[in-house]
Structure 1
């Protein structure tokens, strides 16, 4: 696996380091945080503006299931 060097401000690095779990690297933290963000429905909410009908269909379908 290749690696990339990314420059971070000290305060940003400290915030990432504070999120580390036992055995995690900074790369693991970034990966986990990105996965968490993308699995949050609020992350994509604004991106569906152009497809309101599809959004309404999905909401109705979810309500019928739930």
Structure 2
């Protein structure tokens, strides 16, 4: 039986005009990033990533 693919959930800091936004993205094993959604709060982005990252998934915050 194959082991599940280990995804990495990435929190990215984006600057839009005058406000900072935090993007929640998933990084696939081949290095491609796919943005899922954006948040105003870093705390909410991290807690959403923790909810999604069960098992062997990692969370990485890039500022």
TM-score norm. by structure 2 comes to: 0.23
Q: Which has the higher helix share?
A: 1
TM-score norm. by structure 1 comes to: 0.23
Q: Which has the higher contact order (CA 8 A, sep 6+)?
A: 2
Q: Which has the higher strand share?
A: 2
